[in-house]
């Protein structure tokens, strides 16, 4: 029997993006968004937060796909991409986002990028 961890690990990235579609607001996000993501902006309405999450995940998936297919990402603003990923993580856990900031090497590489 597959375990819950195995099932979750084998879900495609697109699943996580699509679960944030507007069709899931009433059943999933309106009742559970602030529980699942305790550090989201407390004054923004849930549909706005859900739409922001969907948009962020869409961009992250596109970046991940480019990297996975060994396609160039030189024209992308990697600082913006990093901030987007950081924000998504911080919605769930500011502690995890702070850990990522301390352990990542992306920002040093961004600073070393040659100017075209």
pLDDT of residue 5: 84
Q: Which of 19-28, 34-43, 106-115 has the lowest mean pLDDT?
A: 106-115
pLDDT for res 116: 62
- The domain segmentation of the chain, as residue ranges, is 16-35+42-112
How far apart CA 99 and CA 1 sit, in angstroms, is 34
The per-residue pLDDT for range 72-97, each reduced to its tens digit, is 988 899 999 999 999 999 999 999 99
Q: What is the pTM of this model?
A: 0.85
Say if residues 65 and 58 touch (Cβ distance below 8 Å).
Answer: no
Say whether pLDDT at 68 is over 80: yes
Average pLDDT, rounded, for the chain: 93
């Amino acid at each position: 029997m597959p375990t819950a961890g195995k099932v979750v690990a084998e879900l495609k990235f697109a699943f996580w993006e699509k679960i944030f579609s507007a069709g899931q607001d009433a059943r999933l996000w309106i009742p559970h968004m602030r529980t699942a993501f305790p550090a989201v902006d407390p004054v923004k309405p849930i549909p706005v937060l859900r739409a922001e999450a969907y948009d962020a995940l869409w961009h992250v998936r596109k970046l991940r796909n480019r990297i996975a297919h060994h396609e160039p990402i030189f024209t992308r603003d990697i600082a913006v991409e990093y901030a987007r990923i950081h924000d998504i993580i911080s919605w769930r856990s500011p502690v995890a986002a702070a850990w990522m900031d301390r352990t990542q090497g992306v920002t040093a590489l961004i600073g070393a990028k040659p100017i075209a």
